[in-house]
């Protein structure tokens, strides 16, 4: 049995628990996968929007170049330079102030006596444009180089978006981003994007460089420069005509109008992803455009954010969850559902395992009992057979001449044969009943009379063995509808047990009571009583409460099984109760 339990534990229970543990783990991974999917989706949205904005800025840059070429027309560039400010402001709505600078550092426009914006512009940018001062700028030159060999300006600069190596003491500066996207935490957790502890995500990809204007221009044909003045971003587009590369035409972009250009891009993009909100965050991390219009969030903590680039440094597209609690709720529900399923599965496996185990234990017990039964029955057969053989041999020898003795021996042979027949009948009965083949012949008869008859038959034998028989039977007939022989067998089995298990106090009492619609027949003795703990099991097949060897009482463990089966087949029962004052009380209930 212990071996079976061990095999069961190793082959079923432990693997099931391991599976449950793996399932619970994969549940956690599942959540990570979900978060990752969410992250990828929103990152895609932020990248796409930032990409569109960057593309629009590149278009505006190109548009500015075309406007300059259109303004120049057939005129000589140096003739246009002094009036460039007024003309570009009129021709291109995005221009706030126009400027023209020679590479030698001469600021030709705007005029110092021009508009208020123009004067302010000169004040702020003169030194930088005329190469008298290096300032911290972000810049790029998206279009290829121009042929500047006549300027003798040294080596050509690298292609678009690359930072050229600058002469002198120019230096680059990394800055922290305005926002701290939540995705950073996820990325660190999942070890997908950055190793833990990395703060790369916090550092802006837009790099500030200290440079003079001519370094910014380099060999490129056009480009943009962004610089911060009093914490406000100023964006300048510049362009050189191939006709006079010494002259640089530029414009400071009108911030409000630029925003008008960019806002629809945010709004267009946002509708594509339900559940998400989008914001265009400016250099101070405030939303300059948002979708949906009512979007309100902790602007510094977007779910993900993408920087727009060097043209608008420190501007970002932030993606926000419209209902952050909803995704937490969904994740919780998923976790709960799967967790419950796993729990149910484990309970089902455990219950199933237990049932199989219990059944196996029962089968093993029955197998054990059958083995005991075989040895009991063999013993039971052997005893009468030995007597029969011995006495028949004595008689066959012809040495016994005394008639009295011969009769006594023949009587013994007859009793032992009857015992053998009873035993074999019992086994056959049980086998029949076990196969459900036993048929009952129902008839109405007086149970009191049956009891009386049975007692009359048994009385001489019992009294001969020193028993005192008492009975309490009602004077009136007690009619029942049952198989007479079968009920007689029940009574006989129980009475025979009372005889077998009575030790010194040889007292048997039989009571019959007719109740309301039912009948109770009790057989009471003053014997050893059923050993404690075996009260229920004595009705199981082959079960013996008194071991043959220890108690010296012979038996097959089938008497009560048969008796109870007969009682139940009649819609009644056979029960056991310990008798007050010692002994047993077996009750046959019939309806
Ligand atoms: P058997 O008597 O052949 O062992 P039974 O099915 O008739 O088988 O009885 C089962 C067990 O019930 C017995 O082994 C015995 O332990 C217990 N038992 C039955 N009748 C009595 C009784 N009158 N007093 C004490 N124990 C009894």
Confidence of residue 164 (pLDDT cuts 50, 70, 90): very low
Q: How far apart (Å, rounded) are the C-alpha atoms in residues 165 and 167?
A: 7
Model confidence at 272, pLDDT cuts 50, 70, 90, reads low
Q: How far is CA 196 from CA 200, 311, 472, in A?
A: 11, 31, 92
Residue 522: strand, helix, or coil = strand
- Taking CA atoms only, the protein residue closest to ligand 1 atom 19 is 497
Band (pLDDT 50/70/90 cuts) for residue 169 is: very low
Confidence of residue 166 (pLDDT cuts 50, 70, 90): very low
Is the CB of 497 inside a 6 Å radius of any atom of ligand 1? yes
pLDDT band at 199 (very low <50, low <70, confident <90, very high): low
Is 38 close to ligand 1, i.e. is its CB under 6 Å away?
Answer: no
Residue 534 Cα to ligand 1 midpoint, Å, equals 10
331 Cβ contact partners less than 8 Å away, ≥ 6 residues apart: 31, 34, 35
Which pLDDT belongs to residue 332? 82
C-beta of 528 in contact with ligand 1 (< 6 A): yes
For ligand 1, is residue 585 a contact (CB within 6 Å)?
no
Cβ atoms within 10 Å, residue 282: 19
Closest ligand 1 atom to 543 CA: 10
Closest residue by Cα to residue 77 from 268, 228, 239? 239
Interval 549-571: pLDDT, tens:
566 777 778 889 989 999 999 99
- Is residue 583 within 6 Å of ligand 1 at its C-beta? no
Q: Strands, DSSP E only, in 240-333? A: 247-253, 276-281, 287-291, 304-307, 316-321
Q: Residue 530 in contact with residue 538, Cβ under 8 Å?
A: yes
| Average pLDDT of the segment spanning 106-112 | 92
At 282-339, the pLDDT tens digits run 988 999 988 888 888 889 999 899 999 889 999 999 999 888 777 778 778 888 888 8
The string of pLDDT tens digits covering residues 399-438 is 888 899 889 899 889 988 987 887 788 778 777 777 777 7
Strand order from edge to edge, sheet including 304-307: 287-291, 276-281, 316-321, 304-307
Edge-first strand listing for the sheet containing 135-140: 107-109, 95-102, 247-253, 232-239, 222-229, 135-140, 208-211, 172-173
- Residue 452's SS3 state is helix
Confirm or reject: Cβ of 563 under 6 Å from ligand 1: no
Q: What is the pLDDT of residues 40-77, one digit of tens each?
A: 888 988 999 999 999 999 999 999 999 999 999 999 99
Rounded mean pLDDT of 457-486? 91
Span of 72-86, 88-102, 178-192, 292-306 with lowest mean pLDDT: 178-192
Q: By three-state DSSP, how is residue 103 classified?
A: coil
The residue ranges of DSSP E strands in 21-111, in sequence order, are 95-102, 107-109
Rounded distance between C-alpha atoms, residue 339 and residue 204, angstroms: 41
pTM for the predicted model, two decimal places: 0.54
Residue with the two structure tokens 């013993």? 379
> ∠ at Cα 333 (328, 335), nearest 5°?
95
Average pLDDT, the chain: 84
Per residue in 364-408, pLDDT (tens digit) is 888 887 787 777 777 778 878 888 999 999 999 888 888 998 898
- Dmax over CA atoms of the chain, in Å, equals 167
Q: Look-up: residue for tokens 């009769």?
A: 407
Query: To test the ligand 1 pocket, which listed residue (501, 561, 564) has its Cβ within 8 A of the most ligand atoms?
Result: 501
pLDDT of 168 strictly over 50: no
State yes or no: cis peptide before 292, omega within 30 of 0.
Answer: yes
* pLDDT confidence bin for 172, thresholds 50/70/90: low
- pLDDT for the residue 194: 45
Nearest to 141, CA basis, from 124, 168, 156, 160: 160
Q: Is 489 in the pocket of ligand 1 (CB under 6 A)?
A: no
């Amino acid at each position: 049995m212990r071996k079976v339990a061990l095999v069961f534990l190793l082959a079923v229970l432990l693997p099931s628990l391991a599976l449950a543990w793996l399932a619970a783990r994969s549940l956690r991974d599942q959540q990570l996968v979900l978060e990752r999917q969410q992250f990828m989706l929103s990152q895609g949205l932020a990248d796409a929007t930032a990409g569109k904005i960057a593309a629009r800025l590149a278009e505006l840059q190109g548009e500015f170049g075309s406007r300059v070429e259109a303004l120049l027309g057939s005129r000589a560039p140096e003739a246009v330079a002094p009036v460039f400010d007024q003309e570009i402001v009129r021709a291109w709505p995005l221009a706030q102030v126009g400027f023209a600078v020679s590479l030698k550092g001469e600021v030709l426009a705007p005029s110092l006596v021009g508009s208020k914006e123009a004067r302010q512009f000169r004040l702020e940018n003169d030194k930088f444009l005329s190469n008298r001062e290096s300032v911290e700028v972000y810049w790029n030159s998206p279009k290829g180089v121009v042929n500047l060999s006549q300027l003798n300006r040294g080596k050509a600069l690298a292609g678009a978006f690359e930072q050229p190596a600058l002469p002198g003491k120019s230096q680059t500066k990394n800055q922290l981003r305005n926002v701290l996207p939540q995705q950073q935490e996820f990325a660190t957790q999942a070890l997908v994007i950055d190793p833990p502890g990395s703060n790369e995500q916090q550092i802006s990809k837009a790099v500030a460089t200290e440079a003079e204007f001519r370094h910014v221009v380099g060999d490129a044909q056009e480009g943009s420069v962004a610089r911060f003045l009093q914490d406000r971003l100023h964006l300048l587009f510049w362009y050189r005509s191939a006709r006079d590369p010494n002259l640089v035409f530029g414009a400071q972009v009108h911030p409000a109008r630029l925003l008008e250009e960019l806002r629809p891009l945010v709004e267009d993009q946002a509708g594509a992803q339900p559940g998400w909100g989008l914001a265009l965050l400016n250099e101070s991390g405030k939303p300059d455009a948002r979708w949906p219009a009512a979007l309100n969030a902790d602007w510094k903590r977007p779910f993900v954010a993408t920087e727009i680039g060097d043209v608008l440094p420190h501007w970002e597209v932030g993606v926000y969850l419209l209902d952050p609690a909803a995704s937490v709720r969904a994740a919780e529900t998923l976790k709960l559902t799967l967790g419950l399923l796993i729990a149910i599965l484990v309970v089902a496996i455990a219950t199933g395992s237990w049932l199989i185990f219990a059944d196996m234990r029962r089968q093993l017990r029955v197998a054990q009992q059958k083995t005991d039964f075989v040895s009991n029955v063999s013993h039971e057969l052997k005893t009468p057979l030995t007597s029969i053989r011995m006495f028949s041999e004595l008689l066959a020898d012809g040495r016994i001449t005394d008639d009295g003795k011969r009769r006594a021996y023949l009587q013994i042979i007859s009793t032992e044969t009857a015992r053998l027949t009873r035993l074999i009948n019992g086994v056959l009965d049980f086998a029949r009943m076990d196969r459900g083949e036993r048929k009952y012949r129902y008839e109405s008869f007086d149970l009191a009379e049956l009891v009386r008859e049975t007692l009359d038959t048994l009385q001489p034998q019992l009294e001969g063995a020193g028993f005192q028989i008492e009975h309490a039977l009602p004077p009136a007939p007690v009619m029942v509808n049952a198989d007479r022989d079968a009920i007689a067998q029940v009574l006989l089995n129980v009475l025979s047990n009372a005889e077998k298990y009575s030790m010194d106090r040889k007292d048997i009492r039989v009571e019959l009571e007719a109740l309301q619609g039912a009948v109770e027949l009790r057989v009471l003795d003053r014997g050893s009583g059923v050993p404690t703990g075996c009260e229920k099991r004595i009705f199981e097949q082959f079960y013996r409460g008194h071991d043959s060897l220890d108690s010296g009482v012979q038996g097959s463990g089938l008497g009560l099984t048969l008796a109870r089966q007969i009682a139940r087949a009649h819609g009644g029962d056979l029960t056991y109760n310990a008798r007050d004052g010692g002994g047993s009380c077996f009750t046959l209930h019939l309806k």
